[in-house]
Structures are given as structure tokens and as C-alpha cells.
Amino acid sequence: MSKPLNIIFAGTPDFAAQHLAALINSQHNIVAVYCPPDKPAGRGKKLTACATKLLAIENNLPVEQPVNFKETSDQEQLAQYNADVMVVVAYGLLLPEVILNAPRLGCINVHGSLLPKWRGAAPIQRSLEAGDEKTGVTIMQMDKGLDTGDMILTAECLIEKTDTSASLYEKLAQLGPKALVDTLELMTTETHKAVRQNDDLATYAHKLNKTEAEVNWQITASELDRKIRAYIPWPVAQFTFTEDTQNRKQHRIRVWQASIKEIETTKPAGTIISADRDGIVVATAENAICLEVLQLPNKKSLPVQDILNGRADWFKVGANINGAFINSEVN
């Protein structure tokens, strides 16, 4: 058996915690776990620990929570752990060169895409939105750039036509830990080979913004379907319905499930073509989108069949899906 590595782990959300769990169950030694400081959460704004910290405490591992690594004392504290390697998974902090160079074998990162495609903060969502047929994880040697380091190992998975960011996240959470352990096995014998990324093929996965969630009926059904799936579980695709009443009351409606309807129509984009137990079919720039699960304000998400039982007047065939905000009727 190869000699175990002494590892510093740095991560934050559940995705990171699943990788930490794999390391805890491996032959290697976790000498410290780094997480961001606890943050206020919930209605009471109580300071709450992240998933990675909770797992570390459960396993009696030392936890460090520097705000950043600008303080010399924080840099020295990390160096004192004498780690062979630092594993970084969705940590959320940029690491200065003094930290990248502190462990004997440097720092490695688990990134949720097949680099150099989708460097940046939202690789899972952007790969779905772009209509990629496959994605995966890349284990890379970190450098001072943003996801620009040399690649040590990749693992792939197919993107299904029904995948959401939530389901793809779970797929990568299964792929990543195994790829990480396999990489560390190579590093124990220092037989790992890092391949330089081709910067000419690089794309950037910009951080998601709430404004992107606004449904645009003027794009194709295929594009809209991908956006709806990419924005689950956050920020969730949504549109405004305006009642055809004197006060023009508005309601934000979230779309949790939809599908493409390959039909030809001369109706303007946004027009309701049909509304029944199978869904609300809305015209787009090309084909139509069938809304299957919606969430009305202050309600839980429900199949359209249940929503139509109480709100059929909001979704009349021939009307615009946005209601009186556009026109109450479309010919």
C-alpha cells in the first residue's frame, strides 16, 4: 500500500462535504478542514455552520475559518500543518500564491465541468443552458488564475434531456469524490501527470443572476426548456401574470417543470395554445413550451392540472400567458 498523504481540505456546501466524506473513508489523513466563517441564516439570522464544517466536527477534525488569507498569521497557521496537498472543493475564497505553494504537492481543485470549458462560478447551470451533451468533473493543479490550472484527471457523464441543475449536481457529486480519490492515489507515488489547458477552447460560466430567471417567450422552445432546467433549484424561471381587473394585480409564477412541444403555430409568442390536465402550452419563437408544474405566490409547487382547478380563468386559450400586462386577448 502506498504511503497516506496528509491533506488539508477546503470547502463549503454539501457538494464539498461529499468529497470530504470520501477522504475521511480513504487511507489518507485529514490534518485540517478550512471553511468560511459561519454566516447568519434563517428568519432569526442565527450564525450557521456550512455542511463541510458540520461533517468535520462530527469526525473530530480541526477546523479553521479565516476570513481570507491576507493575514500573515493565517498563512503561517496553514503552513504549520505541513500538508502534502490541499484539496479545494467549492471553497469560495481565492487563494494567494503563498497558500497555493504551501503544501508539498501544492493545491488541487475539483471543478464541475470538463475544463477548459466553463471555467468560473456556475459551470453546471451554464452547461445545461448551452445544451451540452456531456459534462463532468476536472481535478486540476491550482494556479493563481481562475480555473486555469493544469488538468490531472477528468470524469465524464451524459446530460439527459430531463436533467436540471439539481439532478446534474447530484451526478457530479457522485463522480467527483471517486475522481478525487483516484487522483490522490496517483499523487502518493507522484506518478500523476498534469496536462496544460488549451486557453483557445476556454469558456466562462458567469455567476447566476436573479434577473436571468425572467421567462422570455420570444426565444425558441428548446432554448427556453434548457433555461428552465438550468435554473432549478435557483433562481427558478418565473414570469408575471397580471389580472384583467381594475387594480391590475400582479402575481409572480415560478416554472418548476416544462417540456418542448414540437408544433407549428402562427400564434404570437406568449399566446396560450391549450390548457388542460397535461399542461399549459405556450407559443414561443419556434415550437411551443408545455408548462407542467407551476408555483403560485405563497403556495407550494403543483401540477398544472391542480392549478387549473382553481385558476382556470388565469390561463384562457388564446390569451397571453402574462395576462392583462400585454393584452387580455390575442387574436
Could you tell me what percent of the chain has a pLDDT over 90?
90
pLDDT at residue 328 is higher than 70: no
Confidence of residue 331 (pLDDT cuts 50, 70, 90): very low
CA dihedral sign, ordered 298, 304, 310, 316: positive
Residue 192 has pLDDT above 80, yes or no: yes
Query: What pLDDT is attached to residue 325?
Result: 52
Return the axis-axis angle of helices 221-230 and 123-130, rounded to nearest 10°: 160
Q: What is the mean pLDDT of residues 63-87?
A: 96
- pLDDT tens-digit series, residues 116-162: 999 999 999 999 999 999 999 999 999 999 999 999 999 999 999 99
pLDDT for position 246? 75
Instruction: Note the pTM of the prediction, 2 decimals.
Output: 0.92
Confirm if 155 and 183 have CB atoms less than 8 A apart: no
Question: For the packed helices 14-24 and 51-58, what is the interaxial angle rounded to 10 degrees?
Answer: 30
Whether pLDDT at 1 is above 60: no
Give me the torsion for CA of 270, 271, 276, 277, rounded to 10°. Answer: -10
Residue 4 to residues 10, 21, 57, 78, 89, Cα–Cα distance (Å) = 18, 16, 22, 19, 20
d(C-alpha 184, C-alpha 95), whole Å: 20
- Taking only the tens place, the pLDDT of each residue in 240-292 is 999 887 788 999 999 999 999 999 999 999 999 999 999 999 999 999 999 99
Asked if pLDDT for residue 23 goes beyond 70, the answer is yes
Domains, the chain, in order of start with CATH, read 6-205 (3.40.50.170), 210-314 (3.10.25.10)
Decide if pLDDT at 237 tops 60.
Answer: yes
**Short-list 155, 157, 137, 135, CA closest to 147:** 137
Average pLDDT over residues 31-48: 91
Q: Is the pLDDT of residue 231 over 60?
A: yes
What's the pLDDT score for residue 69? 95
Per-residue pLDDT for 329 more than 50? no
Enumerate long-range contacts of 68-72, CB under 8 Å, 24 or more apart. Answer: 68/93, 68/94, 69/93, 69/95, 69/96, 69/98, 69/99, 70/96
Mean per-residue pLDDT over the chain, rounded: 94
Instruction: Return the ∠ at Cα 161 (arms to 314 and 286), rounded to 5°.
Output: 55
Average pLDDT over residues 18-28: 97
